[in-house]
Structure 1
Amino acid sequence: MIDHILYATPDLESGVDDLNRRFGVRLSPGGRHLELGTRNYLADLGDRTYFEVLGPDPDLPAPAHGRPLGIDDLTEPRLSTWAARVDDLDETVRTAVANGCRFDPVVAMSRDRGDGVHLAWRAAAPAEGQGFGGVIPFLVQWETDAYAAELSTKGMHLVSLVVSHPDTEMVRGHLASLDLADCVAVRQAAKPSLQATLRTPAGEVTLG
């Protein structure tokens, strides 16, 4: 299942203002990521799936290793990657590795939501070079019934998520090993990219 799709922007406020206009709703402030130098906005897409906008927080210092998702090098917003929700993270990673798709070690994560509810989850990201331009997702196993965007803006839904890559056979194989073959459409393209179509109060909006 798709957990969330992640839209990265070099300027969070202007990026969110543009999306609010295109969506016809206002995205909800999420949280600050002190160690990453970033902040986010969220929208609940239903079925525990959500949309996240991530950008630099000007009030936080940039980390020495740079902000995630290449945000520091972006010149315009883009759909950067996606996360898949799994029931058994350890078994999913073992199966993927056996099929040639490597992941970094599983990490336990948590934070307190704005309403004081504690959120906990475990995650694993594709090993360096194994994300293939963001088309292979990172994996999330929620440890709490509550989730990040539960209280965020409603009224939007994910229509489709398309991943494009020069080697579609390889991508389909890796997605199948993660039991995600039916979650997205895979298309041939000269370079890796993602495209999401959202149903919003302002009509369907496609982001890439």
Structure 2
Amino acid sequence: MFLALTGGALAGPSVSWPTDAEEDDEVPALLDHLIVGCRDLDRGIDFVEENTGVRPAIGGVHPGRGTRNALLSLGERRYLEIMAPDPAQSRIVHYPQIREMNDPRLIGWAVHPPDMAAIAKQLHESQIAFQGPDDGSRKRPDGHVLTWRTVNLADDRHGLLPFFIEWSADSMHPAKDAPARCRLEYFEIMSADPEELSSTFKRMGLDLPVERSDKARLRALISGPQGDLRLST
């Protein structure tokens, strides 16, 4: 269950994004992956290939989570995940709305913090309800099992706020062996009240720009050898 934690006022420095000369200013440095949801995995894979010219590879099944995925590398430590229901499992733990999604759509995103314990402490001190760190796993088609830990917010505002992921030392990051040749050109976080959302990010220990818009949403642009893929929540 989600834990509604209480504590004192925010204490200590925030876990902000590092400065990296090689990072694109349009993409947060610690962004781990974007999630595109769809009720049918093949439809999601075709959608990405039709727009970029690169076909995502089957990633595997999330045991006990109700989903399976396909992957596309977006760089050294960044990737796109296409998530769909696993027909062999009855219950979807996260993103159950994908059962009703005929068209692929951006539904969430993850960051890889330098210190998961520091993030949990930050959320606790900021009185932000969360669950975790929890163990997760995915069985690849070759039988190898990848493992990780996640911290999920009790209220992610329908995917507007990220979850946090820490990959196990013995698990290869998905970006390293997923099909490549695509690049994440930009990732935008938008809100009708950018000051409030920026404040929320700071309480989470994140220093992120928020653009003003008529509604809260995420937008991303992925370029490929045969075209661009535009994503939005």
Q: CA–CA distance in 2 between the matches of 1:192 and 1:165?
A: 4
Quick check: 2:184–2:222 contact (8 Å CA) kept in 1?
Answer: yes
Please say which of residues 103-112 and 134-143 is displaced more in the overlay: 103-112
Please give the residue correspondences for 1:1-20 in structure 2 after superposition, counting only pairs within 5 Å.
1-20=30-49
Residue aligning to 1:141: 166
Quick check: 2:184–2:223 contact (8 Å CA) kept in 1?
Answer: yes
Aligned partner of 2:189 among 163, 178, 198: 163
SS at 1:173 equivalent:
helix
Aligned partner of 1:187 among 208, 211, 226: 211
Aligned amino acid, residue 11 of structure 1: D
Aligned amino acid, residue 38 of structure 1: T
Aligned amino acid, residue 175 of structure 1: F
Gaps of 5+ in 2: 1-29
Quick check: 1:123–1:141 contact (8 Å CA) kept in 2?
Answer: yes
Quick check: 1:132–1:192 contact (8 Å CA) kept in 2?
Answer: no
Aligned amino acid, residue 210 of structure 2: V
Please say which of residues 113-122 and 35-44 is displaced more in the overlay: 113-122
Q: CA RMSD in A?
A: 2.2
Which protein, 1 or 2, shows the higher relative CO under an 8 Å CA cutoff with sep ≥ 6?
Answer: 2
Q: What is the percent sequence identity of the aligned residues?
A: 29
Aligned amino acid, residue 56 of structure 1: P
Of structures 1 and 2, the larger Rg is shown by 2
Quick check: 1:96–1:174 contact (8 Å CA) kept in 2?
Answer: no
Quick check: 1:133–1:193 contact (8 Å CA) kept in 2?
Answer: no
Please give the residue correspondences for 1:113-124 in structure 2 after superposition, counting only pairs within 5 Å.
113-115=140-142, 118-124=145-151
Determine whether 1:89 maps to 2:116.
Answer: yes
Provide the aligned length of Structure 1 versus Structure 2: 201
Residue aligning to 2:23: none
- Please report the TM-score for the alignment, with normalisation by the length of structure 1: 0.85
Residue aligning to 1:47: 76
| Structure 1 runs, 4 residues or longer, greater than 3 Å off | 110-118, 177-180
Aligned partner of 2:59 among 30, 34, 38: 30
Aligned partner of 2:199 among 173, 178, 203: 173
Please say which of residues 191-200 and 18-27 is displaced more in the overlay: 191-200
